[in-house]
Amino acid sequence: MRRAYTATFFLFPVVLLLACTKGKEGPSASVPADCQQFLDKYFDAWKSKDIATLQAFSFYLSPQDQSRLPEGSLALWRESKNKLVAENFEQVTRDFGDFKGYEVLRVKTTTISPQDQVAANTIGSGIHTELVCKAKFSKKRNAHVGLHLIKETEGSQYIVAAWNFQAEP
C-alpha cells in the first residue's frame, strides 16, 4: 500500500509541474482517438456532476499493488479515494463554478514497459498520457487542468492516475 501512495504522490508533482508550465497557447493539441473518447466521457461526467463516474475513472492502483494490499484494505483504499474525488469535485465547483467545456492544449504519451523496473515500480507499466487542458467554468474563470492518464495495455481503458486544477494565469 505504501508503494501505491508513493506512486500517487509522485504523480501529483509531475502533473503540477506540467500544468504550471507557462508558454504561449497555440491551437488544440492532437489527441489519440481512444484518449479523446475517454476525455469526452470524463468531462461529460464533470458537466453532469456525475461523481460516481468520476470516482470510477479516478486513481490508478496496479494489479501488482492490489495483490500486495493486506486483506480488506482494497475496500478501504477505494472508499478513501472515492471520498477524495467527491471532496475535490466540491472544492473545484465552489472555486470555479459549473464546468462548461474544455480544450486540450498539450499532450504527451509515453509507454513504460515492465522491463523498465524502476519506472514500472514507481508509476506503473503501461501507456501514460499527460495532458494539459484549458477548462471553462461558469464563474467566468478558466482553469488549467493537468491530467496523468494510464492504461495498462493498448486495448484497456484509461484511468486518471493524478490531476490538478489551477486558475488560469
* pLDDT band at 167; cut points 50, 70, 90: confident
pLDDT at 71: 85
Q: What digits encode the pLDDT tens for the residues 146-158? A: 999 999 888 899 9
37/118: higher pLDDT: 37
- Whether 102 has a pLDDT exceeding 60, the answer reads yes
CA–CA gap between residue 32 and residue 3 (Å, rounded)? 30
Four-point Cα dihedral 92, 96, 97, 98, nearest 10: -70
pLDDT at 6: 41
| Residues 6+ away with beta carbon under 8 Å from 10 | 122, 123
Q: For 125, how many CA atoms within 13 A lie in the half-sphere containing its CB?
A: 12
- Mean per-residue pLDDT, 119-138: 85
Q: Any idea where the domains of the chain sit in the sequence?
A: 2-167
Quickly count: other Cβ atoms within 10 Å of residue 4's Cβ.
20
Question: In terms of CATH architecture, what is 2-167?
Answer: Roll (3.10)
28/55: higher pLDDT: 55
pTM: 0.77
pLDDT at 121: 66
Q: What percent of the chain has pLDDT over 70?
A: 81
- Whether 21 has a pLDDT exceeding 50, the answer reads no
Mean pLDDT across the chain: 81
Q: What digits encode the pLDDT tens for the residues 129-144? A: 999 999 999 987 899 9
Q: What digits encode the pLDDT tens for the residues 45-98? A: 999 999 999 999 998 777 777 778 888 888 888 899 999 999 999 999 999 999
- Whether 17 has a pLDDT exceeding 60, the answer reads no
